[in-house]
Amino acid sequence: MEIRPGLHRIVAPIPPRFIAMHLFTGPRGALLFDTGIDGSVDGTLLPYMRQAGIDPASIRWVVSSHCDFDHTGGNAALKAAVPGAEFLAGAADELMTENLEALIAGRYGEFARADGFDDPPETTAEIRASTRLVGVDRVLAGGESFDLGEGRELEIVAVPGHSPGHLAVWDAAHSALAISDAVLGETVPTASGEPAFPPTYRDTARYVETIERVRAYDAELLLTAHYPVYEGRGVREFLDASLAYTERIDSAIETHLVGEMTSLELIRGAAPDLGPWPPAAADYLIFPVTGNLERLAAAGRVAQGWRDGTRTWRWIR
C-alpha cells in the first residue's frame, strides 16, 4: 500500500504474524527497508512492485533494520532479483546479518549455556528454512543520508536496544519514521492482533534511550514491522506504553526476586504480572528481563551468581 507518495508499506505473512517491509521510491532510485523471510520477496514484494508499476531494478539500497531472520531472510532472494542493489546493515549487527550460524548461536542461543533457555529445535529448523543471507556491502552507524531525488533525502538513525546495531529510516518529507522493531510496545502481536510473545528488547538502557530518540523526531507517522501504522497521538501513546512496560518489568522484579533465583525461576514467577502469553511464549521474557536485571546490576542493586552452572540473581542489601 502506498501510504504517502513514494512511501510504500508492503505486508507479507509470517504466520501467525506478519512482516511489513517499507519501500521509499524517488526519481534517483529506491531504498528498501527489510526483506522479510525468504518467501517474502517472490511471494509478496515483487508481485506488489509489478502491480504498482515499480521496476525492481530501481532498488539501489537494501537496508536491514537489524539482524533478525524475519527482516533479513529475504536478502538472497532480493539480491537474485536485483543484483546491483547495495546491502547495508548496522555495524554492530553486521556478522549476524550475513552469517546464519552466528545469528542462531549468538542471538537466539544467547541464553542456552548461562540460563538453560534456547529455541526449541523446530523453531531453529524453521529459521533455517526461512532464511537466506548475503554479505553486507557497507555498514551504517546512523547519520548517513540517501538522496532519492527532487530534494527528498532519507536519514539513517541508530536505534539500539532490541539489537545493538538496529537502524531506523527518517523520511522528513512525510514526517515518517520507519523503526521496524526498535520499539516494541507491551507485546508482539499476531496478524489478528492477539498477543504472540513478549517485547524482546535486550539492552534496556539503550532501548529506553531509543524510545526518547524516536520521540524527539515528533513523527506524524511511525512505521513498525509487526504493528499497525501509528499516526499523530497514536505515535505518542505507543511510545508511552513501550516505556511504561520497561518500568513494569522493574516492578515485577521487585516483587518476585526473592533470595537467589535463576532467570527462568524469576520469569516464571513474574510472567502472570507481565502479559497474557502461554508458558512457552512467556519464557521469551528472558530477553527484556535480563536487560532490566543487567541495568539493575550496573546500578549496584542486584548481583549475578551461579548455581550448578546456571546464572542466578539476588538483591544487594
Q: What is the pLDDT of residue 151?
A: 94
Q: What is the pLDDT of residue 135?
A: 98
Q: What is the pLDDT of residue 317?
A: 79
Nearest CA to 277 out of 200, 180, 205, 224 is that of: 200
Q: Report how far residue 224's alpha carbon sits from residue 110's, in angstroms, rounded to the nearest whole number.
A: 25
Q: What is the pLDDT of residue 102?
A: 98
Q: What is the pLDDT of residue 263?
A: 98
Query: What's the CATH number for 244-315?
Result: 1.10.10
Asked whether 245 and 186 are in contact (CB, 8 A), the reply is yes
Per domain, the residue ranges of the chain are 2-232, 244-315
Nearest CA to 88 out of 60, 130, 128, 125 is that of: 60
Query: What's the CATH number for 2-232?
Result: 3.60.15.10
Q: Report how far residue 189's alpha carbon sits from residue 174's, in angstroms, rounded to the nearest whole number.
A: 26
Q: What is the mean pLDDT of each run of 10 residues along the chain (317 residues)?
A: 98 97 98 98 98 98 98 98 98 98 98 98 98 98 98 98 98 98 98 97 98 98 98 98 98 98 98 96 98 98 98 95
Q: What is the pLDDT of residue 134?
A: 98
Model pTM greater than 0.85?
A: yes
Asked whether 157 and 213 are in contact (CB, 8 A), the reply is yes
Cα dihedral value 206, 207, 210, 212, nearest 10: -100
